[in-house]
Amino acid sequence: MRSPIRLAMVLGLLAIVGGHLLDGGNLFALFHATALLIVVGGTASAVLLQTPAHSLRRGLALSRDAFDDDAPSDVAPAVETLVEFSRMTRRDGFLALEPYAQAETDTFRRRGLELLIDGVEPDELRSTLEIDLATYEMSERQAGRIWESAGAYAPTMGIVGAVMGLIHTMQNLAQPADLGNGIAVAFVATLYGVGAANLILLPLANRIKMRIVAEVQLRRMLIEGYCAIAAGSHPNVVDRRMRGYLVEA
């Protein structure tokens, strides 16, 4: 996690904890195992019930680097590579791409290179890769949606914890010593649910969405580049066309 993102998350937590302390609150009053169990356990259960296993695994994988923003974009190097492939194929033919296809670790890029090597017509190449892209986008969005769902369930689980705490409180009106625990569960559970949703889960879901959009845009650019190469376009034409995908700083 890079420093600006880390700073933003710490700032949010400090705002809540600092506001509590400035109002004369006790720091340890914000920690309650029962409330944590209700919110975390209930949210996880709801997400697990609605999510296929493969989407869950992929969603967890997406979360690992979702906050590593500000990483160098793959678009500029990809543009240079496509232009170089265009020069190479015009000079040596499509078979010159074979070593690059064999060395390529990304499935989508390797598929495009293999189609070029096979001499597939541009329209057929585009159709094939767009099907791959649509499948990829649907799968990634479904996987990333688990965090959006968790962000929706967490506040509800907080309310469930609040209701349970109030039930406990009402059952112990004759025992004043037990009232504080029930009230603490009620309010702390709500804090956990709303706080987790708005400080962690929903921002995480939105960042994953942004990464998926960026990757889809990159793959669309690759499709255009591969089609231009398949059509035998001049490298300068490929370069000018691909430059339209670059975001100016």
Distance between CA atoms of 208 and 146, rounded to whole angstroms? Answer: 11
Residues 6+ apart with CB under 8 A from 148: 201, 202, 205
CA dihedral 60, 62, 64, 68 (to 10 degrees): -160
- DSSP-derived secondary structure letter, 2: -
Distance between CA atoms of 105 and 134, rounded to whole angstroms? Answer: 20
Residue 118 one-letter amino acid: D
pLDDT band at 182 (very low <50, low <70, confident <90, very high): low
The pLDDT value recorded for residue 37 is 92
pLDDT digits (tens, 9 = 90+) for 123-165: 999 999 999 999 999 999 999 999 999 999 999 999 998 888 7
Q: Which two tokens stand for residue 79?
A: 């543009």
Kindly report the average pLDDT of the chain as a whole number: 85
Distance between CA atoms of 230 and 226, rounded to whole angstroms? Answer: 6
- Name the residue with higher pLDDT: 246 or 122: 122
Distance between CA atoms of 123 and 228, rounded to whole angstroms? Answer: 10
The pLDDT value recorded for residue 178 is 63
The predicted model scores a pTM of 0.81
- DSSP-derived secondary structure letter, 159: H
The pLDDT value recorded for residue 176 is 67
pLDDT tops 90 at residue 186: no
Task: For residue 118, give the nearest of 135, 138, 95, 141 by alpha carbon.
Answer: 95
Q: Are 47 and 153 in contact (CB under 8 A)?
A: yes
Distance between CA atoms of 30 and 152, rounded to whole angstroms? Answer: 22
The pLDDT value recorded for residue 138 is 95
pLDDT digits (tens, 9 = 90+) for 56-105: 999 998 888 776 655 445 788 888 999 999 999 999 999 999 999 999 99
The pLDDT value recorded for residue 241 is 86
Chain Cα centroid distance, residue 182: 37
Q: Are 88 and 233 in contact (CB under 8 A)?
A: no
Distance between CA atoms of 182 and 146, rounded to whole angstroms? Answer: 31
The pLDDT value recorded for residue 246 is 76
Query: 194-228 burial, b if ≥16 CB within 10 A, otherwise e?
Result: ebbbebbbbbbbebbbebbeebbebbebbbbbbbb
pLDDT digits (tens, 9 = 90+) for 28-52: 767 888 889 999 999 999 999 999 9
- Name the residue with higher pLDDT: 214 or 6: 214
Average pLDDT estimate for 226-249: 84
Q: Are 157 and 190 in contact (CB under 8 A)?
A: no
Distance between CA atoms of 83 and 239, rounded to whole angstroms? Answer: 6
Helix (H, G, I), strand (E, B) or coil at 143: helix
pLDDT band at 169 (very low <50, low <70, confident <90, very high): confident
pLDDT tops 50 at residue 208: yes
